[in-house]
Amino acid sequence: MMAALICVVSLAAFLQFFVSYCRSILASTHGIDLSENVREVTGIENAGVVADDFARLLQLLHLCSDGGQDRTEIRAIGTYYSLLRILGRMSHSIIPSVSAWVEQERRSCSYFAAVALDRRIANSRDLLNRQFDSGC
């Protein structure tokens, strides 16, 4: 019985830490504007990123080469997004205010993916330019 209690408390503490970690990652990309290239590639209009764009943006992210810099953050946000989707389905009819918060968080996850895609495209472009400049 004591082991079960310790396990539950540990899981709750981990979940609280994980949510705080993910929200800090999302906050770090909040004020970053997306480039026209990313808007063009993703089809994101002036209305902005919507919550349901996350899976598509994640697929595009996996197509780009990565330097290993944001791999952990992308996995964490992907897990956070999945947890939010589950919470959103459970709270949709029960607690509408939680459902609205979940939708905003999911939109932030999608925006994070768009910013990460923008960074990867910029890094790929810089790498290509350096290769051309070096005469390869």
pLDDT digits (tens, 9 = 90+) for 46-75: 767 888 889 999 998 888 877 667 889 999
Q: How far apart are the C-alpha atoms of 104 and 122, rounded to whole Å?
A: 27
Our measurement of the distance from residue 118's CA atom to the centroid of its chain's CA atoms, rounded to an integer in Å, reads 13
Q: Which H/E stretch holds residue 101? A: helix 96-133
> pLDDT grade, residue 95 (50/70/90)?
confident
Residue 136 has pLDDT above 60, yes or no: no
